[in-house]
Amino acid sequence: MRKAGLFCVAALAALSISACGGSKQESTAAETTVAASTVEEGTTAAGGSIIAPEAGKTDHQNGGFPVQLDADSFNGKTVKAEFFAFDRYDVAKINALKAGDVIQVANHNVAIKTIEKKNAETGNFPEVIINGGVANGGVSLLQDGDYFRTESEDGTPLYYSIGTEELKLASDVVYMDYSDLNQQNGVTYQADQIKKAFEADKAKGWGPQVISVVIKDGEVKQIFRTFAQDSAKK
């Protein structure tokens, strides 16, 4: 859902609940969506500009982060996670986009051939459709507060991998599961309950569209699971 996607992205920026929504095995979904969106890689036309995303966090010591979590690696002390990012752009730069420019998406240069500006069907959020949009091998951008962000076909950000780390777990780490919309306050599992909860959720997706971690001083304090229309593995 578009609203759920926007809410969760905003919450991630606030170092709380993050990555939301997808219906596929998330690492695969993220990779294939990026590939489909960057097939038209190229350079600027005469007089064109190169539009780069805003700089993101380069360390994972403090903050909220979307991840592909390796649930099998959880041992009570550490857990392995593949970190994902999505691109955000200055509103003024996106509003000034024109054919002949190049926009950098997921570390690829996409030559802009066509551009359409409109309001999204849900929520009336300003939307920019480049080269036919993500559904047609192009790029879709959605204004989310004071920036534009990439958008996948389900409305969630267009995630791409930025590396894997083994993370230290805080002694009081909790797993907070908000995947059941009938459980308004979610279900919280304490540190000694997490391994069993992970085993029970083994068939669910573990990627950046549904899983995020909150890290403080290099230790994972919270692991979040959010709603997805189909969180089961394919």
138 pLDDT more than 80:
yes
- 94: region left, alpha or beta (phi > 0 left; psi from -120 to 50 alpha): alpha
Q: Over pLDDT 90: what percentage of the chain? A: 66
- Mean pLDDT in residue range 171-179: 97
| Spatial distance between the Cα atoms of 213 and 46, rounded to a whole number of angstroms | 44
Provide the H-helix boundaries in the chain. Answer: 2-13, 26-37, 91-95, 194-200
* Confidence category of residue 154, pLDDT binned at 50, 70, 90: confident
Q: Cα separations (Å) of 29 from 129, 140, 147, 207, 229?
A: 20, 16, 24, 9, 14
Q: What is the pLDDT of residues 41-84, one digit of tens each?
A: 566 666 689 999 998 777 899 999 999 999 999 999 999 999 99
Cβ(127)–Cβ(142) below 8 Å: yes
12-16, 45-49, 51-55, 88-92: least confident range: 12-16
3-state helix, strand, coil in the chain (%, to 5): 20, 40, 45
According to the model, what pLDDT value does residue 44 have?
60
For residue 160, give both structure tokens: 């791409």
Joined tokens for residue 62: 């403090």
Kindly tell me if the per-residue pLDDT of 12 is higher than 70.
no
Distance CA 31, CA 94 (A): 24
Residues with Cβ within 8 Å of residue 64, at least 6 apart in sequence: 11, 12, 13, 14, 15, 16, 17, 18, 212, 213, 214, 215
Q: What is the pLDDT of residue 56?
A: 79
* Domain spans of the chain, in order of start: 30-55+86-156
pLDDT at site 133: 96
* % of residues, the chain, pLDDT over 70: 76
> Which contiguous run of DSSP H or E holds residue 104?
strand 102-105
Number of Cβ atoms within 10 Å of the Cβ of 77: 10
Centre a 10 Å sphere on the Cβ of residue 193 and count the other Cβ atoms it contains.
13
Count of residues in the chain:
234
Long-range contacts from 90-95, C-beta under 8 angstroms, 24+ separation: 90/54, 90/147, 90/148, 91/143, 91/146, 91/147, 91/148, 93/51, 94/51, 94/128, 94/141, 94/143, 94/148
Asked if residue 172 has pLDDT above 70, the reply is yes
If residue 216 lies in a helix (H) or strand (E), which one and from where to where?
Answer: strand 211-216
